[in-house]
Amino acid sequence: MQQFHGVYPALVTPFDKAGGINETVVKEIVDWHLEAGVDGFYICGGTGEGLLLSAAERRQMLEATVRAAAGRGKVIAHVTTLDTSTTIDLAQHAEASGAAAVSVLPPIYYNVDSPALMEHYRLIASATQLPLFVYHIPALTGKLMSVDEMRQLLEIPNVSGLKFSDYDHFTMHRIRLLRDDLIVYSGNDEVFLSALNLGANGGIGLTYNFMPQVYVGIYQAFLSDDICRARELQWKSCAMIDAGFQVYGMGVAKAALQHLGFDVGEPRRPLRALMPDERKLIVERMDALGLTK
C-alpha cells in the first residue's frame, strides 16, 4: 500500500457561471498541483462540496479528475451519501472510472449502532475491489471512531486505512499500529507534521489546494529527516491557516485559488463566498507569506 503515501489535496469542485462543473478548470488545477509534486487527489469530500452535488455531478467530477490526472497521480473518490445503496453505486462507478480508492464517512444524521456501522462498511467494501478508506471527522459527523471499532473494520476485506481529521494523534497512532500496511492520512492541515511524527503516511487537506508546495515540502523534509525545514514549513502553513480561522472557513480555498488565477467559481449554497473584508485578509496573508509567487 505504499503507493498511497504522500500529499493529496482535497480538491475543490470548480463551478462555471451556470453552476455546473468546469472541467477546463479541473484540468488546470490538477496540472498545477502535479507540477508542485503532489501524489494524488481526494475529490468530492467536504472541501469538494461532494454532499452538495448530485450523484451525476459527482460522477462527472470524478471522471474529469481521472482524465486530467492521466495516470500521473492517484484519485481517491469520496462517495458518502445518506444511504448505503447510493454510496455503493458511486463506489462502483469510481472503480469503473479509474479511481484508485474510495473513502466513506460513517453514517451521518442517523445515529446507527456498531453492528449497523460494520454492515454499512462491509456492504460498500464488498461492492468493489478498490481499497476503502474510512473517513474519521468527529467534529462534523458526531461519530468518534474508537480503536476497537477500527480494529473490527479492518477485518473487512478492502478496508485499507483512514483519513483521520482529528487532533487526537495518540488515538491515531494506536490505530496506525493495528496493521503494518495500514494507510493513515492526516486530515488537519495545521498539524500535518505532528501526524507524520506519530505514524501518518501522508495527508489530505483543504489548504493543500492553494499551497501544495508547502505540504510537499513538509513531507519531503520529514522523509529526509530535515526536521528544521519541516517545522519551518509547518509554521508557514499555520500562519496561513490562522488567517483562515478568522473568516468563514469553507470559502477560503476557492477565494485563495481565485487569487492565484483559477476561475473556480463560488461555493454552492448553503455555503457562501467570503465577504470582501474576509477575502482581503486571506489575500494579504497569502501575499505576505509568498504564496502567490
* 135 belongs to the catalytic site: yes
Q: Which of 191, 198, 183 is nearest to 166 (CA)?
A: 191
Which residue of the set 121, 163, 208, 219 is catalytic?
163
DSSP string for residues in 98-164? T-SEEEEPPP-SS---HHHHHHHHHHHHHT-SS-EEEEE-HHHH-----HHHHHHHTTSTTEEEEEE
The answer to whether 210 and 286 have CB atoms below 8 angstroms apart is: yes
The answer to whether 47 and 226 have CB atoms below 8 angstroms apart is: no
Measured CA angle at 37 (ends 36, 38), to 5 deg: 105
The answer to whether 76 and 40 have CB atoms below 8 angstroms apart is: yes
For residue 122, give the C-alpha cell: 462491509
The answer to whether 165 and 137 have CB atoms below 8 angstroms apart is: yes
Q: What is the DSSP letter of 17?
A: T
Which residue of the set 8, 121, 135, 219 is catalytic?
135
Ranges of beta strands (E only) in the chain are: 6-9, 40-43, 74-78, 101-104, 132-136, 159-164, 183-186, 202-205
* 248 belongs to the catalytic site: no
Give me the active site residues, please.
135, 163
